[in-house]
Amino acid sequence: MATYEVAALRPRSAFDRSPVPDRIWYAAYGSNTNPDRLAGYLDGSGPRGALRPAPGISPSGCRDHTPPARSVALVLPGLLYFATESVIWSGGRAFYDPTTPAETPVRAYLLTLSQFSDIAAQEMYRRSGTDLDLTEVLRTGRSRLGPGRYETLVCPGMFDGIPVVTFTAPWRWREIGGNPPAATYLRHIATGLRAAHSWSIGDTAGYLATRPGAAGHWTSERVAGLLREEADS
């Protein structure tokens, strides 16, 4: 199993009385760990390999189509799990439970506030084009914008002086039944995490096959096969 290099996340207390910055580290733990997948939100092209168009994708994407200024491999405190049913891929969606003791490797992208806001809006199936108010999440670490999946913002800390923010569901992983992810969706996550963290195929597969919702359905061997198929395509 991989040894995770936990980047120097600092407490978010520095933002208690500071204005919301114009740059955000967006911590992607699901299919957006793959830059090709993230690009679909930025430019409106949608997810490659999906069963049907994403209902949340804006035809024009984000207001700013500029690629992320940087991306780094980080590890957040909390648990990655799979649940609910994706209308885009079929199978379970990836969620992040920051309250469960575990480690969640992510790929963090340095985005403008408008880019992060527009990506979050599309994931929430909302109209994009308005900057989110991050005051509460930067002050308290959590902000619930709605009851649905991906409508809860989480800020686990800061990196390089910039807040790290992601979005997830409001529930804890044990409060909802798991659902294994579809192969194409899981391949996006595996490809993105492996590239970001410089993992071997075996380490990547071992991590994802043991996440709640995937465990018991996906084996390390099957996940490794997805990565080998990706490499051969």
Q: Is the pLDDT of residue 84 over 60?
A: yes
Q: Residues 189, 193, 196, 201: is their CA dihedral positive or negative?
A: negative
Percent of the chain residues past pLDDT 70, beyond the cut: 85
- Res 5: pLDDT: 45
- Res 47: pLDDT: 59
Residue 231 in domain: no
Q: Is this prediction's pTM over 0.75? A: yes
Q: Residues 189, 215, 198, 221: is their CA dihedral positive or negative?
A: negative
The mean per-residue pLDDT over the stretch 3-14 comes to 55
Residue 88 in domain: yes
The CATH number covering residue 123 comes to 3.10.490
Q: Is the pLDDT of residue 164 over 50?
A: yes
Say how far apart CA 56 and CA 44 lie, in whole Å.
10
CB 59 within 8 A of CB 53: no
Ranges of H-type helices in the chain = 35-43, 113-123, 135-140, 183-197, 201-209, 220-232
CA angle 169, 114, 79 (to 5 degrees): 25
Residue 226 in domain: no
Residue 109 in domain: yes
- Res 10: pLDDT: 66
Residue 110 in domain: yes
At 164, phi and psi to the nearest 5?
A: -100, 125
Q: Is the pLDDT of residue 80 over 90?
A: yes
Residue 216 in domain: no
pLDDT band at 190 (very low <50, low <70, confident <90, very high): very high
Residue 82 in domain: yes
Per the structure, the count of domains in the chain is 1
pLDDT digits (tens, 9 = 90+) for 93-126: 999 999 999 999 999 999 999 999 999 999 998 8
The mean per-residue pLDDT over the stretch 43-67 comes to 70
User: How far is CA 227 from its chain centroid?
Assistant: 19
Residue 54, token pair as written in the block: 């994403």
The mean per-residue pLDDT over the stretch 126-147 comes to 92
The mean per-residue pLDDT over the stretch 185-200 comes to 96
In angstroms, the Cα distances linking 186 to 2, 66, 141, 166 are 18, 26, 28, 19
Residue 108 in domain: yes
By residue range, what is the domain housing residue 65?
12-179
